[in-house]
């Protein structure tokens, strides 16, 4: 086991990793920016090192400062969490050069699955269902038009290196496709440093279903079943749950097995999420692979009893996954509500500032993953998520009632949050029947 791990992140995920390390008997070193200098979770780490000013570029995204902190603190490994440097192959590579274990995939495996075009190639070989579309990056306008004609409009142009919902263009006919290709390539180059653009069938209505997978350094990969994350706004997930409501279990089992095969074929170690869109006939199409621990990992933990963060650390030490696929047994239903410091009545404007009231729910089946305490100041520099409420119950209906009850207990002020919105969504009849698609929330908010 590692003796000491540096956490290259902040907020709730930094605290989540501290907790996992402490239970594994690992010392923690937490880096922080000046904007986070009063963050209470820093006191729970064995050591905290300031790496620069508030703007992420000068701190949490600054590789040389993080590596310096790691060397000063003499750590064995770095956990990147999610966001910031978690999906930068260059960072994983530099860690390796510095003989510090990166808790996540090797730069090679990250390259295989982190690039959307490459991932699709591996996915096809592993018999993971993918969208019909171009085999790789588009070489010419004519090729794009040919592909679009063979799969039928609408189609979507996507950047191979895209992320965060950026770098995508939907085209409903040949004229818009022709008009958009060059622009999409130029935009991709400017935004992601890679001008590769590919084309796939665009699904008008779909659910977002993703599969949690773990890989180790011995060629094993095990899936921890699926999560449904269809409640989204601007491609940002708001509610996640597991299992996916109403999904044919035989079908999803095949998709989960394929996702594990994909991770195995890429010789990938660590936590990975294979994301899919599912159409109304429950056909699955792979979107992309996220090569890190995700925000919504707790719902999987609640139904499987497996600690995803601890597993990510364990496999990084070189240990094999300590269980087999047949040992992964799910129980009940879990729902996560992301609590964001935003004002839903003002177009989700960020609501930074001091939190005076912070009364969190408790009781059976309730979990809060948050770094906030009363008096905490939400810095304006980062993502607006200030915590997650996760509930677990025997059935989905009971989980919804439990979430409603917990949301009523949750009191936060004077900043604005998404708590009331979640409460409303728990009463929403379309959500309750499990029949929403990824555009549902935006339609509801109109
Ligand atoms: P990113 O890496 O930017 O998040 P994704 O490939 O995961 O990009 O796609 C983000 C979102 O864009 C999806 O959740 C979905 O809402 C939409 N999208 C992407 N591809 C398609 C598609 N082929 N059909 C319909 N919607 C799509």
The DSSP-derived string for 114-178 is HSHHHHHHHHHHTT--B-SB-SSS---HHHHHHHHHHH-S-EEEEETT--TT-SEEEESSHHHHH
Q: Hunting for tokens 């907790």 — which residue is that?
A: 19
Given this structure, which CATH class describes domain 207-444? Answer: alpha beta
For the CA of 204, the closest atom of ligand 1 is: 25
- Taking the C-alpha atoms of residue 134 and residue 119, their distance in angstroms, rounded to an integer, is 13
Tokens of 26: 């690992």
330 upstream amide cis, omega within 30 of 0: no
Distances (CA, A) of 315 to 28, 29, 145, 267: 18, 20, 45, 13
For residue 385, the cross-strand partners are 340
Task: Return phi, psi of residue 133, to 5°.
Answer: 170, -165
Any idea how long the chain is? Answer: 446
Q: What element of type H or E holds 220?
A: none
Ligand 1: residue whose CA is nearest its atom 2: 163
Maximum Cα interatomic distance, the chain, rounded to a whole number of Å: 61
Q: Is the pTM of this model over 0.85?
A: yes
- Architecture of the domain defined by 4-103: 3-Layer(aba) Sandwich (3.40)
| The CATH homologous superfamily of the domain defined by 128-201 | ATP-grasp fold, A domain (3.30.1490.20)
- Taking the C-alpha atoms of residue 263 and residue 119, their distance in angstroms, rounded to an integer, is 10
CA of 403 to the centre of ligand 1 (A): 28
The residue whose CB lies within 8 Å of the most ligand 1 atoms, and thus the one to mutate among 163, 165, 210, 284, is 165
For the CA of 133, the closest atom of ligand 1 is: 23
CA of 314 to the centre of ligand 1 (A): 31
Q: Which residues line ligand 1 (CB under 6 A)?
A: 131, 156, 162-166, 168, 200-203, 206, 208, 235, 275, 277, 287-288, 438
The pLDDT, as a whole number, for residue 166 is 78
Instruction: Please report, for the chain, the start and end positions of each structural domain, with discontinuous segments joined by +.
Output: 4-103, 128-201, 207-444
- Find all residues with CB under 8 Å of 193, minimum gap 6, and list them: 161
Ligand 1: residue whose CA is nearest its atom 12: 165
Closest CA to 8 of 73, 373, 123: 73
- Taking the C-alpha atoms of residue 314 and residue 375, their distance in angstroms, rounded to an integer, is 35
- In angstroms, what is the C-alpha Rg of the chain? 21
Ligand 1: residue whose CA is nearest its atom 10: 165
pLDDT tens, N- to C-terminus, the chain (446 residues): 999 999 999 999 999 999 999 999 999 999 999 999 999 999 999 999 999 999 999 999 999 999 999 999 999 999 999 999 999 999 999 999 999 999 999 999 999 999 999 999 999 999 999 999 998 899 999 999 999 999 999 999 999 888 777 779 999 999 999 999 999 999 999 998 999 999 999 999 999 999 999 999 999 999 999 999 999 999 899 999 999 999 999 999 999 999 999 999 999 999 999 999 999 999 999 999 999 999 999 999 999 999 999 999 999 999 999 999 999 999 999 999 999 999 999 999 999 899 999 999 999 999 999 999 999 999 999 999 999 999 999 999 999 999 999 999 999 999 999 999 999 999 999 999 998 999 999 999 99
- Taking the C-alpha atoms of residue 6 and residue 313, their distance in angstroms, rounded to an integer, is 12
- Taking the C-alpha atoms of residue 8 and residue 69, their distance in angstroms, rounded to an integer, is 10
The pLDDT, as a whole number, for residue 163 is 79
| Triad 7, 8, 12: Cα angle to 5° | 70
Q: Which residues are catalytic?
A: 292
Closest CA to 147 of 79, 80, 201, 210: 201
CA of 370 to the centre of ligand 1 (A): 28
Q: Hunting for tokens 């966001």 — which residue is that?
A: 83
- Taking the C-alpha atoms of residue 263 and residue 260, their distance in angstroms, rounded to an integer, is 5
DSSP 415: S
The pLDDT, as a whole number, for residue 435 is 86
For residue 210, the cross-strand partners are 227, 275
Task: Return phi, psi of residue 438, to 5°.
Answer: -70, -10
């Amino acid at each position: 086991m590692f003796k000491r791990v540096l956490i290259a992140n902040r907020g709730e995920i930094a605290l989540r990793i501290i907790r996992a390390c402490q239970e594994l008997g690992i010392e923690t070193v937490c880096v922080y920016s000046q904007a986070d200098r009063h963050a209470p979770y820093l006191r729970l780490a064995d050591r905290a090192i300031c790496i620069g000013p508030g703007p992420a570029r000068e701190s949490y995204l600054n590789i040389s400062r993080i590596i310096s902190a790691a060397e000063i603190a003499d750590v064995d490994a770095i956990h990147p969490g999610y966001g910031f440097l978690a999906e930068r192959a260059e960072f994983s590579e530099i860690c390796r050069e510095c003989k510090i274990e990166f808790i996540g995939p090797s730069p090679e495996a990250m390259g295989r699955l982190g690039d959307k075009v490459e991932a699709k190639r591996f996915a096809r070989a592993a018999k993971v269902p993918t969208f019909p579309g171009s085999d790789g990056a588009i070489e010419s306008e004519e090729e794009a038009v040919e592909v679009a004609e063979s799969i039928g409009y609408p189609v979507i142009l996507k950047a191979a290196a895209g992320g965060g919902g950026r770098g995508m263009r939907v085209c409903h006919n040949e004229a818009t496709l022709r008009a958009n290709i060059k622009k999409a390539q130029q935009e991709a180059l400017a935004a992601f440093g890679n001008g590769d653009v590919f084309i796939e069938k665009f699904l008008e209505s779909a659910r977002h279903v993703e599969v949690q997978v773990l890989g180790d350094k011995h060629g094993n990969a095990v899936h921890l079943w699926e999560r449904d994350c269809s409640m989204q706004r601007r491609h940002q997930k708001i509610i996640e749950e597991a299992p996916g409501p109403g999904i044919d279990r035989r079908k999803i089992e095949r998709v989960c097995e394929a996702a594990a095969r994909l991770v195995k074929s890429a010789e990938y170690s660590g936590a990975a999420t294979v994301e899919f869109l599912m159409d109304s006939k429950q056909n699955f199409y792979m979107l992309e692979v996220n090569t890190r621990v995700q925000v919504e990992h707790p719902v999987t933990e609640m139904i499987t009893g497996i600690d995803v963060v601890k597993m990510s650390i364990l496999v990084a030490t070189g240990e094999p996954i300590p269980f087999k696929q047949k040992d992964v047994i799910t129980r009940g239903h879990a729902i996560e509500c992301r609590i964001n410091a935003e004002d839903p009545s003002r177009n989700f404007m960020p609501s930074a500032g001091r939190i005076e009231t912070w009364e969190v729910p408790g009781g059976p089946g309730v979990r809060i993953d948050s770094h906030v305490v009363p008096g905490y100041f939400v810095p304006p520099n980062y993502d607006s998520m200030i915590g997650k409420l996760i509930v677990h119950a025997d059935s989905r209906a009971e989980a919804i009632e439990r979430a409603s009850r917990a949301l009523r207990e949750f009191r936060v002020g004077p900043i604005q949050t998404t708590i009331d919105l979640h409460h409303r969504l728990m009463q929403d009849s379309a959500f309750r029947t499990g029949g929403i698609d990824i555009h549902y929330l935006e339609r509801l908010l109109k």
